Amino acid sequence: MPLRNVCAALALLASNFVAPQTFAAGDSLRCVVPADTVPFEFASDGNLLRGFIDPPTTAGRHPAIVIVHGSGTTDITQGGGPYNGSYEEMRAAFRSAGIATVVWDKAGNGCSDGGYMHADDVYARANEVVAAVKALQTRDDIDASRIGVW
């Protein structure tokens, strides 16, 4: 077996043992959504994914923007650092325009169940987005005909 394949196999094996424990959803104090947001959970590929909706302050059904993370890990309920996956400034801008925003942790990250291999699986990420949009379409506070993806 070529050295490159051996290294890839070892990295994959190591991520199976490290990532799920590192990002376990069991710490309830860590999994509290930010103030003025609404918890959001949905299932995708057998995983329960957790995040939150940042609604505008006005009453009624709102359009929504699903903010899709790039590559790498997420922990949206934890602050600090230049990037924590919560997109605070972007969420504030949309909220002030009357648009709800939606973010969640990838499988095996932050407060979401499952495992994340640290090598973006484009199909899994696409499945998450479709599942999130479908879950949003069932909510009374979201206008199902006006959901976008960022």
3 state SS for 73-106: CCCCCCCCCCCCCCCHHHHHHHHHCCCEEEEECC
How many C-beta atoms surround the C-beta of residue 104 within 10 A? 29
The whole-number pLDDT of residue 119 equals: 59
Whether 129 contacts 68, CB under 8 Å: yes
pTM for this entry: 0.75
DSSP 3-state of 149: strand
Tokens, residue 82: 């230049």
Q: Please choose, from the candidates 24, 23, 52, the residue with its C-alpha nearest in 3D space to the C-alpha of residue 39.
A: 52
Report, as ranges of residue numbers, the positions in the chain whose pLDDT lies below 50.
1, 3-26, 81-82
The whole-number pLDDT of residue 18 equals: 33
Segment 18-38, tens digit of pLDDT: 333 333 444 556 788 888 999
Which amino acid belongs to residue 114?
Answer: G
The whole-number pLDDT of residue 83 equals: 54
Q: Which residues contact 15 (CB under 8 A, 6 or more apart)?
A: 115, 116, 117, 118
Give the Cα separation of 66 and 103 in Å (integer): 7
The whole-number pLDDT of residue 130 equals: 97
Within a 13 Å sphere around the CA of 38, how many CA atoms are in the beta-carbon half?
14
The whole-number pLDDT of residue 79 equals: 56
